Amino acid sequence: MALASDTPVRPRPSFNLRTRFMRLIARPGFQRWASAFALTRRMAAKDGAELFDIVQGFVKSQVLFALVELRVLHRLMEGPQTVETLAVVSDVSVDRMDRLLRAATAMKLTRLDRKGRYSLARKGAALIGVPGLEDMIRHHAAFYRDLSDPVALLRDEVDTELAAFWPYVFGADQAEDVETSNRYSDLMARSQEMVAADTLSAVNLRDTTHLLDVGGGYGVFAEAAALKHPDLHATVFDLPAVQAQARERMGVSKASDRLDFVPGSFRDDPLPDGADMISLIRVLYDHEDNTVTDLLRQVFDVLPEGGRLVISEPMSGGNRPEIAGDVYFSFYCLAMKTGTVRGPARIKDLCQAAGFVKIADFPSRRPFVTTALTAVKPKK
Instruction: For the chain of 380 residues, list the mean pLDDT of each consecutive stretch of 10.
Output: 55 70 76 77 82 90 96 95 96 97 96 94 92 86 93 94 70 51 60 90 94 94 96 94 88 94 93 96 94 97 97 93 93 91 96 97 89 94
Tell me if 348 sits within 8 A of 361, measured CB to CB. yes
Residue ranges, comma separated, of all CATH 1.10.10.10 domains in the chain are 57-129
| CATH class, 146-376 region | alpha beta
Nearest CA to 104 among 68, 53, 54, 143?
A: 68
Tell me if 266 sits within 8 A of 298, measured CB to CB. yes
SS3 129: helix
Residue ranges, comma separated, of all CATH 3.40.50.150 domains in the chain are 146-376
Residue 313 pairs with which residues in a beta bridge? 371
* Side-chain half-sphere exposure of 343, counting CA atoms within 13 A: 10
Nearest CA to 309 among 269, 353, 357?
A: 357
Contacts of 295 (CB under 8 A, 6+ apart): 214, 266, 280, 283, 284, 287
pLDDT for 175 equals: 47
Nearest CA to 239 among 167, 329, 132?
A: 167
Rg of the chain on CA atoms, in Å: 25
CA distance 19 to 318: 22
CA dihedral for 335, 341, 346, 349, sign (positive or negative): positive
Element (H, E) at 143: helix 133-146
How far, in Å, are 149, 159, 325 from residue 152 at the CA level? 5, 10, 21
The CATH T-level fold of domain 57-129 is: Arc Repressor Mutant, subunit A (1.10.10)
Percentages of the chain per state (helix, strand, coil), in multiples of 5: 55, 10, 35
pLDDT for 8 equals: 62
